[in-house]
Structure 1
Amino acid sequence: MTEPIATALLSYGMSGEVFHAPLIAAAHPGFLLHTIVQRKSKHASTRYPHVIIADAVEKVFADPAIELVVVNTPNDTHADFVTRALEAGKHVVVEKPFTVTAAEADQLIALAKSKKKVLTVFQSRRWDGDFMTVKKVWDAKLLGKVVELEVHYDRFRNYVEANTWKEERGKGTGILYNLGSHMLDQVVCIAGMPRQADARIGVQRPNGKIDDYYDIRLQYEGFHAIVKSSYLVREQGPRYSIHGTEGSFMKYGIDPQEQALKEGKIPGAPGWGAEDKLHWGKLNTTLQGVHIEGAIETLPGNYLAFYQNVFEAIRENKPLAVKPEESRDVIRLIEACYESNEKKQAINL
């Protein structure tokens, strides 16, 4: 029997408690949740009594029993902690955004190759059911030649959340690194890297310290993508809109997996990731001369697939679903967006 992969989390904040720990625990027997770093409390032991609670990341790097380290700490620490984990001979999953700069990402990719270790980024929203459905519509060319793709990730949070580094000015903070790293990854997954990026980024909330909205236009050969996000959208519009020479596809709502994880539901249980019919997308197109209009069933989302792939990469030497080079390109794109916003002009890529 294959030995489970002993895994450590460097933090038990929102990403550790809601995403990584439940997914790793549900991926058993492929993984063993071995250690969680909690510096000020040990409340993770309530849910995971068998797990070691460490009070310092150094104890994780020094433990030879740990094979895989999940770096889910503040964004500006990613490069340092991934470096230390790789130097200690560990495989690494790092939370999005991969790094703050593309130069840091390149250094980590080179180090992982030299150490012959798996390095990947938790781009979980590739396994959102709505995105998987959008990609299927795109790949099947149901809309003819696509001319426009618009992607939104909007929220209504008209206040500044207290006591979180995510609301403080600093390297790698702000909505573009937070939500944009997911959205840009999705667009690049579908269409590849754009030729140009033209972005406007800023602060809309009263007393806000970090960027809380962006409006990005990505130019491709023959079509463009619009990527938008704001914390001041109370009435949600479509999350995805695709328009082509034969028709359109519109998708409202958001994948239900995050909410299910927050409610303590078990990933992979019957019905996991299934979306209510009310939120299925609408297709209106012409195929081979036949007009087709109606709802398209949303594919079930499956965040577990990310860790299943990590297991296969480590134990079976299979290709990574999320290659670090792809996440490096997303950071390059984020840097280009900030440069565009500063210069108020499109940036060639």
Structure 2
Amino acid sequence: MDFSIASILLLDGVTNGAIYALLGLATVLVFAVTRVIFIPQGEFVAYGALTLALFQAGKVPGTVWLLLIMAALCALLDAHAAWRHRRSLRAAARAGLRTLAAPLAIALLALWAAPQQFPLLVQAVLTTAVVTAFGPLVYRLAYQSLADASSLVLLIVSVGAHSAMTGLGLLFFGAEGFRNPAFWDARFALGAASLSGQAVIIVGVSAALMVLLWLFFERTLRGKALRATAVNRLGARLMGISTHAAGQWTFAMAALIGALSGLLIGPTTTVFYDSGFLIGVKGFVAAVIGGLASYPTAAVGAIFVGVVEAFGSFWASAFKEVIVFTLILPVLLWRSLVVGHAEEH
């Protein structure tokens, strides 16, 4: 290996690491606020890339129909809960319509826009809206009723949610893979390596999103409410912060990050209905490096994961996934030695 090859691999590693950093941050965010190790995070990535691909083909993505089905189920659950609480059909109807309104509006817009062949950026914005709407619905269906359960129970639910979302991806998208067009086709000479415009967009959007997340948590009231929920769920509830609303907002942000990651990674690789799992697990490795608590450490760990993956694919391409996932073992061993253990209640 000479310097030119090393620089190319390093550039690829940093580009992929920027994607893993976003997924790692989403994993840390969801775990901090809800105590959920969110395994299906990668499914949002696949849904984002595949939804845009079908918009590009002028077809209605299957995610639109899935969004309507999940929204209807959540509306029924919320209406039933409101009726049990207030014994009023009017309150139940209001609760159901409030849950159904935003997903229904997004789905109708997508149904109208799909055959119109709008520009790529417009389709990307619509894709982001469709996939982001899944976040609160997934939380409502799978996690809200188990919010006070143990972390082990929540992990088991995450495994089930991952299996369900993967199967639904196969049902609504089929087994065929898709590769999206790049948002920027330019290329730049960077020493011995060549930097693509898509790589610039990936790094730039990832950095911008990290800054926006920091501003959201530091400067907005809702962001501070999520931080309070992450620090002390009971204390936040006593101060009037709805932990259910915090969970829905957290999952919406995770879905947003997943959708953007799918849009960014779609032009660089062929995405299948089950591609999100491996991508999401690499983000999870970065989150584990950050102890599922530290956002900066998770971001740095993601860059490290990307670089290790790039060099591992050069030296032993057949074992690159094994090399990446093996990184979890020394990190867990080190954390078990330096971090005290607490009983699970």
Shorter-chain TM band: under 0.3
Bigger strand share: 1
Query: Which TM-score applies when normalising by structure 1?
Result: 0.26
Query: Which TM-score applies when normalising by structure 2?
Result: 0.26
Q: Which has the higher contact order (CA 8 A, sep 6+)?
A: 2
Bigger helix share: 2
